[in-house]
A and B are shown apart, each in its own frame.
Chain A
Amino acid sequence: MAALSEDMKNRIRAFIPKYPRKQAVTLPALHLVHDELRTVSNEAIVEIAEILELHPSEVHDTMTFYAFFKGEGEKLGTTRLWVCRGLACMLRGAYELIEHCEHKLGVHCGQTTADGKVTLEFAECIGACDGAPACLIEDVHAMNVTPEKADQLITELKLK
């Protein structure tokens, strides 16, 4: 069975006219697949490569450079929760916040909760330094996150 639906393939193809070369669609395609399937399997890589007329190893090479993407054998939870540990966040309690979230979720950074709901990660800097310590929920900033606010966020994410 194909990893990508016909609809996903068409949405990838729709990016092609925007760029002078098909290879430039690699990141948009990886984002599209990763958002929807929460991982990019080897089979998905082969199918992306076919659309972009690349060798699968070229797509794989690009994908693995960005530790952002989860590959074969890894899968994100329903929601990705990043806690920023950049300097501004560290100065305002990020390390304590990471530890708090690890305890609350029962996982270490890089892991997904047993119910598959939340993947906890740390980020190097999410550019939300005016709201330090800050988190990123998928791609939305949560600012000035206290341990209490983190508990509330986690409860909401668990309900998704």
Chain B
Amino acid sequence: MPYEPVLLARINKPNSGKLEGYRADGGYETIARVLKDKQPLDVTTQVKDAGLRGRGGAGFPTGLKWTFLPKDHPGPVYLCVNADESEPCTYNNRILMEKDPHQVLEGIMLACYAIKSPKAFYYVRYEYGDSYRSLAAAVEELYAAGFLGKGIFGSSFDLDIVLHRGAGAYICGEETGLIESLEGKRAWPRIKPPFPAIEGAFRKPTIVNNVETLACVTQIMKRGKEWFQSLGVPPDPKNPRDAGSYGPKLYTLAGHVEKSVCVEVPMGITIRDLVEKHGGGVWKGRKAKAVNPGGLSMGFVDVNAPLKGEDGKTEYDIPLDFNGPGRVQCLGLGTAAVTVIDDQTSMVDVLHNVCQFFSHESCGQCTPCREGTGWMLKITDRLRRGLGRKEDLDILVDVADRIGIMPGTTICGLSDGAGWPVKTAIRKFRAEFEAAIKSGAKSKYAKSLTMAGAH
């Protein structure tokens, strides 16, 4: 039976962003019922038992994160909504915010009630102007209806939501970078511990949650934990660290697919099914060569590489759950943004583009990241100009291996994320890079784009 979308169920309705339309579909009945019948801890328990893992990229269990707040803190406690969705090829939060902002706002109310927070700071990346306007109109409607402010829905619970705009910096998606930026400072990630749950925004205990995660909270509280657990993939018995991948998930398709769309399906769908059934296949009747399965920092899948121990299957057949991409040396599921690269595209150009991104977006606070991402960019630039040297590929992998967080060299995960695409591209497509070095051929982009003085 085909899966019936829940998170995206309303997006094609006329006026899907309006309070009236949301209420006609049963919107805000869940929060009203929860405020009347349940204690904050009940919400946390239900979200925890459902097995919801954060959709922002790291996949940390949401309910468990909420329990990290100090028990007897005099308050206030804050919720920060992370809508600084800046991982290239990712746009699932944008769809939710533009088309169904109230579903997310109800999730915020539920989360704030669970963590006893009187205020949510909603951090929206600057580039999402339409999302911001859609949210601002929705928040205004809520205040006008008396659904925000003092004693919401006739309870004794007070809640305010403050929309806050970013200013075009990828690092603001890192939770402590976001907090620093919210506080009015440069978005330099903080050294942890203390984690935000202990000392976050304005030095108060803070929970940072992703937009899609909060939309899932709305659905879990509406439909129950059993419904959520009936979807997706249970934990892999061979992997003691896997906490399962439950529930529906938004996947975004981009790059060389016929249809670049955001689709909602249960966790665990394979890349092949996603591209072929939902993306209409590879564009122009071509074949895929590589896939970036979840945002640039997750690395690359080699579509033609056989999958170990599974006859006839290739890396194209890995399931997109929290556990799947790790089986083919990728970092993880990430943001579930699937970018397809066709067989007529140079991986040298692709890797240069990726290195350009991370070098530009490194906040510069930690030397290994600042210098390492720049070093990788210089080498990939050399490769695309046809000036690559034999030793360049080993140097690239070596730099990528050393600048990550695993040896504890940097404060946040940006440098680790910058390393995965480099390591996986060189390891999986080495022959193509070697051929490029040997031929000394210039990329078609090598002479263009001065990019002088640009932001």
Interface on A for B, CB 8 Å cutoff? 18-21, 23-28, 30-31, 52, 58, 61-62, 65-69, 85-88, 90-92, 95, 98-99, 108-111, 121-132, 136, 138-141
Q: Which of B166-181 contact A (CB under 8 A)?
A: 166-170, 181
Contact B353–A85 (Cβ < 8 Å): yes
Contacts of A25 in B (CB 8 A): 184
Known: A108-B453, A121-B454, A132-B254. A68 touches B88 (CB 8 A): no
In the bound assembly, the distance between CA atoms of A92 and B88 in angstroms comes to 14
Contact A109–B451 (Cβ < 8 Å): yes
Contact B91–A130 (Cβ < 8 Å): yes
**Closest B-chain residue to A130, C-beta based?**
B260
Known: A92-B255, A124-B361, A130-B252. A62 touches B450 (CB 8 A): no
In the bound assembly, the distance between CA atoms of A150 and B101 in angstroms comes to 31
Contact A95–B449 (Cβ < 8 Å): yes
Contact A66–B90 (Cβ < 8 Å): no
In the bound assembly, the distance between CA atoms of A31 and B354 in angstroms comes to 29
Known: A26-B184, A109-B451. A126 touches B127 (CB 8 A): yes
Cβ 8 A contact of B254, one of A20, A99, A130, A141: A130
**Closest B-chain residue to A95, C-beta based?**
B445
CB distance from A16 to the nearest CB of B (A): 11
Contacts of A61 in B (CB 8 A): 185-186
Contacts of B170 in A (CB 8 A): 124-125
Contact of B135 with A by CB under 8 A: no
In the bound assembly, the distance between CA atoms of A80 and B264 in angstroms comes to 34
Contact B254–A122 (Cβ < 8 Å): no
Contacts of A31 in B (CB 8 A): 126, 165, 167
Contact A27–B357 (Cβ < 8 Å): no
In the bound assembly, the distance between CA atoms of A69 and B188 in angstroms comes to 17
Contacts A87-B255, A131-B260, A139-B127 known; 18 new A-B pairs at CB < 8 A: A26-B185, A27-B165, A65-B169, A65-B363, A66-B167, A87-B353, A90-B349, A91-B255, A108-B450, A108-B451, A109-B450, A121-B455, A123-B168, A124-B86, A127-B125, A130-B252, A130-B254, A139-B126
Instruction: Count A-B contacts at CB 8 Å.
Output: 182
9 A/B residue pairs, CB under 8 Å, sorted by A: A20-B76, A31-B167, A58-B185, A86-B88, A127-B127, A127-B128, A129-B90, A131-B260, A139-B128
Contact of B267 with A by CB under 8 A: no
Count class of interface residues, chain B: 35 or more
Contact A122–B357 (Cβ < 8 Å): no
Contacts of A19 in B (CB 8 A): 162, 202
Cβ 8 A contact of B184, one of A27, A123, A138: A27
In the bound assembly, the distance between CA atoms of A27 and B261 in angstroms comes to 33
In the bound assembly, the distance between CA atoms of A97 and B434 in angstroms comes to 29
Known: A24-B183, A27-B181, A88-B260. A129 touches B165 (CB 8 A): no
Contact A28–B164 (Cβ < 8 Å): yes
Contact B89–A129 (Cβ < 8 Å): yes
Contact of B381 with A by CB under 8 A: no
In the bound assembly, the distance between CA atoms of A33 and B363 in angstroms comes to 24
Cβ 8 A contact of A130, one of B86, B182, B261, B448: B261
Contacts of B252 in A (CB 8 A): 129-130
Contact of B213 with A by CB under 8 A: no
CB distance from B190 to the nearest CB of A (A): 15
Contact A136–B256 (Cβ < 8 Å): no
Q: Which of B113-132 contact A (CB under 8 A)?
A: 125-130, 132
Contacts of A27 in B (CB 8 A): 164-167, 181, 184
In the bound assembly, the distance between CA atoms of A88 and B256 in angstroms comes to 8
CB distance from B385 to the nearest CB of A (A): 15
Contact B455–A65 (Cβ < 8 Å): no
**Closest A-chain residue to B337, C-beta based?**
A129
Q: Which of A30, A52, A66 lies at the interface centre, i.e. has the most chain B CB atoms within 10 A of its CB?
A: A66
Known: A99-B449, A130-B262, A132-B254. A91 touches B164 (CB 8 A): no
Contact of B85 with A by CB under 8 A: yes
Contacts of A111 in B (CB 8 A): 452-453
Q: Which of A28, A125, A141 lies at the interface centre, i.e. has the most chain B CB atoms within 10 A of its CB?
A: A125
